[in-house]
Amino acid sequence: MGQALIVIDVQNDFCPGGALAVPEGDQIVSGINQLMQDADAVILTQDWHPEGHSSFASSQDRKSPYDLTEMPYGPQVLWPDHCIQGTDGAQFHADLNSDRADLVIRKGYNPAIDSYSAFFENDHTTPTGLEGYLRTRGIDSLMMVGLATDFCVNFSAVDAANLGFKVTVRSDLCKAIDLDGSLAAAHAGMKSAGVVLEQGNG
């Protein structure tokens, strides 16, 4: 059975200079391009929000970026406006070899629900369709890289492991936001879900 490389949200807004910049987010791009060379399948995810998305602090009364709020589906961090559909910030980093992708899966387009994971929106029930795509292609093993380690990579890896995929995260090809211990919590959560965290081979 095949393996897929899943590249999470390597987009301008998550790189230095972007609206929700992840420190050193751009430094993983060339390593990811190299990994693409021997992957059976390459899938890119793209955070893709409509203007005024409910996860934006600007869309809520008296809230600032990085505040926590309560949504009908549970707690939600509020973010600066980012990855708005069609904007330059939502485009892939210019050096990412996006031509190599078999599939680009967009997420976060539902105005009322955020979507960190490549598999389910943050209500943990609405599917993105990626599971079906992978299963019908006979892919049972996933390598994950990208941004941000503690949000979209973490949620994607844990969901994939819970769905029964064999999941490895290349931590050296991910970068974190690290809000209030979120990176340590993500590492612990991924390990307990059975995700293998790998540092690469030099």
Q: Does 151 bind ligand VGL (CB under 6 A)?
A: yes
- Opening angle at CA 36, ends 30 and 38, nearest 5: 130
Of 18 and 108, nearer to Zn ion (C-beta) is 108
Q: Which of 42, 134, 144, 152 binds ligand VGL (CB under 6 A)?
A: 152
We find the least distance from the C-beta atom of residue 114 to Zn ion, in angstroms, to be 6
Which of positions 21-80 make contact with ligand VGL (CB under 6 A)?
47, 79
Sign of the Cα pseudo-torsion (174, 127, 113, 67, in order): negative
Q: Which stretch binds ligand VGL (CB under 6 A): 32-40, 84-92, 122-130, 146-154?
A: 146-154
Count CB neighbours of 38 within 10 A: 8
We find the least distance from the C-beta atom of residue 104 to ligand VGL, in angstroms, to be 14
Which of positions 84-123 make contact with ligand VGL (CB under 6 A)?
116
Sign of the Cα pseudo-torsion (107, 113, 115, 119, in order): negative
Active-site option among 26, 47, 107, 114: 107
Do 147 and 183 touch, CB atoms closer than 8 A? no
Of 40 and 60, nearer to ligand VGL (C-beta) is 60
Distances from the Cα of 27 to the Cα of 14, 33, 147, 175, angstroms: 12, 11, 11, 9
- 174 has catalytic annotation: no
Helices 182-192 and 154-162: crossing angle in degrees, nearest 10, is 20
Of 47 and 159, nearer to Zn ion (C-beta) is 47
Residue 165 site contact among Zn ion, ligand VGL, none (CB < 5 to 8 Å, cut-off depends on kind):
none
Residue recorded with tokens 């203007």: 51
Integer-rounded Cα radius of gyration of the chain:
16
Distances from the Cα of 92 to the Cα of 13, 55, 74, 78, 134, angstroms: 9, 21, 29, 22, 22
Binding mask 48-87 for Zn ion (x = CB under 5 A): ----------------------------------------
Q: Which of 13, 47, 121, 150 binds Zn ion (CB under 5 A)?
A: 47
- 191 has catalytic annotation: no
Q: Does 147 bind ligand VGL (CB under 6 A)?
A: yes
Q: What CA–CA distance (Å, rounded) separates 95 from 101?
A: 14
Q: By the criterion CB under 6 A, which residues form the site for ligand VGL?
A: 9, 14, 47, 79, 116, 147-148, 151-152
